[in-house]
Amino acid sequence: MSAASVALDDLWVAYDGTPAVRAVTGRFAPGSLTAIVGPNGAGKTSLVKAMLGLQHCSRGAVRLDGATRAEIGYLPQRAEIDRNFPISVLDMVQMGHWRRTGWFGRMPAAATRQSLAAIDAVGLGPQVHAPISTLSAGQLQRALFARVIVRDAGLIVLDEPFDAIDARTTAELMALVETWHRDGRTVIAVVHDLQQARTRFGDALLLARDVIAWGAAERVLTPDNLSKARLRLEAANESWADAGAEAGP
């Protein structure tokens, strides 16, 4: 698996002039497994969306190396997909082959076999033909992971993959993330559980609009840094209120 890297160069994201992400510079190394951590409103999802090209960067640039944007295996937040959409688990996972089939191409038998194998791998074998609206939150997340497997991407970006998911599903899906890491894929995930970030991820990026710390997880997620992140965000909120949200690019 040829791993890809992502370099961020003075990246800013702003909504109506109010910065959500400020001056982020750094690099997700090829083959790294990084947790993006930060208090609510720290700009984690904005940063991820800017990397994917889903969010306009008001300044700076994202540079991908070893993969194009279209090749990124992306897991969106569950809130962003239509959970009542009338399709089966298999049809949903088959979407992962979109780059190969395009608008009209036939779905090769080998591609369908890959999808079925991916569905088995996430433990949804019995539900393969079930409509997605009948799945629990955890099962739906498993199905979305199966779609990421099918994409076979060198760079994988997961937005809150374990949010509101039961412990058993979280453990199994985390194990899957670790196999991706062992395959040499670059994996970036927005994570809320600090314990999980500290013990299961090699690297961490602690964000509070700007970067508080970025590096080996156990050195980044120290009590000092975490309280610094909280204070930074509170201070930022107050200063925006005081200054009438005029700062920023």
Partner 1 sequence: MTFAEIFLDPFIEYAFMRRALVGGLALAVGAGPLGVFVVLRRMSLMGDAFSHAILPGVAVAFLIFGLSLPAMSIGGFVAGVTVVLGAGIIARNTNIAEDASFACLFVLSLSTGVMLLSVGGNALDLVHILFGSALAIDDEMLALIVGIESVTVIAFALIIRPLVIDCFDPAFLRVAGGGGWVNPLFLALVVVNLVAAFQALGTLLALGLMILPAGAGCFWSLRLWPRIVFSVSVGALCCYAGLVLSFHFDLPTGPAIVLCAGAVYAGSVIFGRYGGLVRRAMQRAPA
Q: Does 195 bind partner 1 (CB under 8 A)?
A: no
Residue 70 sits in the site that holds partner 1 (CB under 8 A):
yes
Q: What's the min distance (Å) between Cβ of 144 and partner 1?
A: 9
Determine which residue in the list 9, 121, 128, 131 makes contact with partner 1, applying CB under 8 A.
Answer: 131
Binding mask 218-237 for partner 1 (x = CB under 8 A): --------------------
Nearest-approach distance from CB 151 to partner 1, in angstroms:
8
> Any idea which residue has 């160069």 for tokens?
9
**From candidates 2, 133, 222, 227, binder to partner 1 by CB under 8 A:** 133
Q: Which of residues 77-116 bind partner 1 (CB under 8 A)?
A: 80-82, 85-88, 91-92, 95, 98-99, 101-104
User: How far is 216 from 205, CA to CA, in rounded Å?
Assistant: 9
With contacts defined by CB under 8 A, how many residues of the chain interact with partner 1? 27
72 binds partner 1 (CB under 8 A): yes
Q: Contact between 74 and partner 1 (CB under 8 A)?
A: yes
- Interaction between residue 66 and partner 1 (CB under 8 A): no
Shortest approach of partner 1 to residue 73 CB, angstroms? 9
Report d(CA 116, CA 12) in Å as an integer. 40
Q: Cβ contacts of residue 7 below 8 Å, gap of 6+?
A: 26, 27, 28, 62, 63, 65
Query: Which residues of this chain interact with partner 1, rule CB under 8 A?
Result: 52-54, 69-70, 72, 74, 76, 80-82, 85-88, 91-92, 95, 98-99, 101-104, 131, 133-134
